[in-house]
Structure 1
Amino acid sequence: MEITNVTMNDLQAILRIENLGFTSEEAGTKEQYQDRIKKLNDTFLVAKIDNKVVGFLVGPATEEEYVEDWMYEHTPDNVLTGGNQIIFTIAVDPEYRGHSIGSKLLDAIEKNAKLAKRKSISLTSLERNVPFYLKNGFENKGIADSNHADEIWYNLVKAIQ
């Protein structure tokens, strides 16, 4: 498996995985993903096996500590150094789950975040996925101030050492 930065050629595979893993209310649109690929190339990673996208992770590096709902509609530009690494989405093709791909994507973004002197990595998660993030070194900071897809989200944060 290799983890690389996204290219526009990865868009269709990303949209397929996104729609397999999220409800229509939760999932990002084609237009949002085109914007994210353009704006967040440095913080948009894809995992590939035999040149096939099997997972991805995307989010901006911002001054904000937590994901905020407005960010989903208006992708912020990455701060060059410092700030916090936000994760909008981490998703793995259902056929490839259980092979540590999600954990390897988190490790890769953490390495990038350390190099860019970020303070933390932050994301929101549904309750059913919280154990995965705890296992990967995140701390549950409680219920997020979010009404994305009318669901209850939890803020998870990992300090960068």
Structure 2
Amino acid sequence: MQITHANITDLAQLMLIEQAGFTTAEAASEEAMLERIKTIPDTFLVSRDKDGNVTGFIMGPVINQRYLTDDLFEHVTENSVAGGFQSVLSLAVSPDYRGQGIAGQLLNELADVAKKAKRKAVTLTCLDRLVAFYDQHGYTDEGISSSNHGGETWHNMVLGI
């Protein structure tokens, strides 16, 4: 497996993976995904198989606050050069590649990117059923998020770096 930055030609594969991993209410639109590829290329990472096909991805903008807000799911701005909090708006792996440790590798790679850029922490929100997964990867559950993205209850998860 190889981890690279996303590019526009990956859009169709990214959308299939996004839609397989999230409900219709939670999943990013094609327009939002394209904006993310163009606006935050340095923090939009994809895993690829030996043939170069996208097997999973992780992405999110650098933000000034510790926790995600719902507006981030609609629009992102360019990342600051240093500082801030690295957010994760989406982490998804193709159903054909789940259970192979790809999500953990993507989390680690984005944490490395954040460390090099001297970010304060990595922050994300997740559903109840995923708290243990993120806990295993060093994240701390800091309570219920104010986000109601997709009509769900989310947990604020933070990784100190």
Q: TM-score, normalised by structure 1?
A: 0.98
- Structure 2 counterpart of 1:3, one-letter code: I
The offset of 1:95, in angstroms, is 1.1
Structure 2: tracts of 5 or more residues without a match: none
What CA deviation, in whole Å up to 9, does each residue of 1:9-42 have, x standing for no partner?
1111000000111110000000000100000100
Match of 2:30 in 1: 30
Match of 2:6 in 1: 6
Q: Does 1:16 align with 2:16?
A: yes
Match of 1:129 in 2: 130
For these two proteins, the number of residue pairs brought into alignment is 160
- Structure 2 counterpart of 1:126, one-letter code: L
Q: Does 1:47 align with 2:47?
A: yes
- Structure 2 counterpart of 1:89, one-letter code: S
Q: Any idea what SS the aligned residue of 1:86 has?
A: strand
> Is the contact made by 1:63 and 1:79 (CA closer than 8 Å) also made in structure 2?
no
> How many percent identity over aligned positions?
42
Match of 2:102 in 1: 101
Q: Aligned equivalents of 2:55 and 2:130: distance in 1?
A: 19
The offset of 1:77, in angstroms, is 2.0
Q: Aligned equivalents of 1:102 and 1:10: distance in 2?
A: 18
> Is the contact made by 1:44 and 1:58 (CA closer than 8 Å) also made in structure 2?
yes
Q: Any idea what SS the aligned residue of 2:18 has?
A: helix
What CA deviation, in whole Å up to 9, does each residue of 1:45-92 have, x standing for no partner?
000012110000010012121111011112122111111100000000
Q: Aligned equivalents of 1:144 and 1:79: distance in 2?
A: 24
Q: Aligned equivalents of 1:131 and 1:90: distance in 2?
A: 15
Q: Aligned equivalents of 1:17 and 1:73: distance in 2?
A: 18
